[in-house]
Structure 1
Amino acid sequence: MSDNIMEKEQTGTSEDSQLPNLVTIVGRGVPSNFEISVSGGIEMAADNPVEEATVVAGGVAEGLIDVGVQRFYFSGECANIRAVDWNGVEAPESSSTPTIHVNYGVSDR
């Protein structure tokens, strides 16, 4: 997985050290669904996840992406990531599903 498209965000809260890992989802211009489950907690790195059509509860985040980038900070291990394109075809069979990057130990939020 590549780090070259990552942009690190600075938030400066004490909660940052509790969510040291990062999942980045990059849309490819095709409406797609994704689901991320982790063994710890997860939160979206956005001011308003509802505007992004994303639901985050417990250790699971799910949502829609067409274009752009969505980022999620999490603790623990990434347990499962599932992405499907608008036809329901899963990655890697579909070249239209979003690109997903997982980085552990991101310490400079």
Structure 2
Amino acid sequence: MARDTPVQNQVATTETEPLPNLVTIVGRGVPSSFEIAVDGEIEMDAEDPVEEATIVSGSVAEGAIDVGVQRFRFAGQVTNVRVVDWNGVEAPDSASVPNVHIDYGVPER
């Protein structure tokens, strides 16, 4: 019985291409939560994203931060950013929420 010619998975070529844009979340020493939505793909820029306890699902990333920095690479445009402090107070009403930096066209390190 002859087999059909296998179809090669082309996902491997897109995995080697870095996502062109960068979101950086900088904690201010107060436990806070964040959510980032984009109209393309998003992934955490970390050695072990699971260790960071951040959930990334397709085009949305959410997590918590108090100190340190978390980075996400993404394609497309940012469609929504929501940051709240430990009391649930959103930016800009809370001075304790993390800083969010969005940079387009950033080469991978």
TM over 0.5: yes
CA distance in 1, matches of 2:77, 2:45: 18
CA distance in 2, matches of 1:83, 1:53: 16
CA distance in 1, matches of 2:16, 2:47: 17
The residue matched to 1:36 in structure 2 has which SS? strand
1:15 Cα deviation after fit: 2.5
1:62 Cα deviation after fit: 0.2
Answer yes or no: is 1:50 the counterpart of 2:50: yes
| Gaps in structure 2 of 5+ consecutive residues | 1-14
Q: Aligned pair count?
A: 95
Residue in 1 aligned with 2:77?
77
1:108 Cα deviation after fit: 4.0
- Identity score, percent: 68
Residue in 2 aligned with 1:4?
none
Residue in 2 aligned with 1:67?
67
1:53 Cα deviation after fit: 1.4
Q: 1:47 to 1:57 in 2, by over 3 A?
A: same
The residue matched to 1:15 in structure 2 has which SS? coil
Residue in 2 aligned with 1:24?
24
| Gaps in structure 1 of 5+ consecutive residues | 1-12
Residue in 2 aligned with 1:104?
104
Q: Deviation per CA, 1:47-73, whole angstroms, max 9, x where unpaired?
A: 222211100001000000000000000
The TM-score normalised by the length of structure 1 is: 0.84
The TM-score normalised by the length of structure 2 is: 0.84
CA distance in 2, matches of 1:99, 1:72: 14
Root mean square deviation of aligned Cα: 1.1
Runs of 4+ residues deviating >6 angstroms: none
Residue in 2 aligned with 1:9?
none
CA distance in 1, matches of 2:31, 2:17: 32
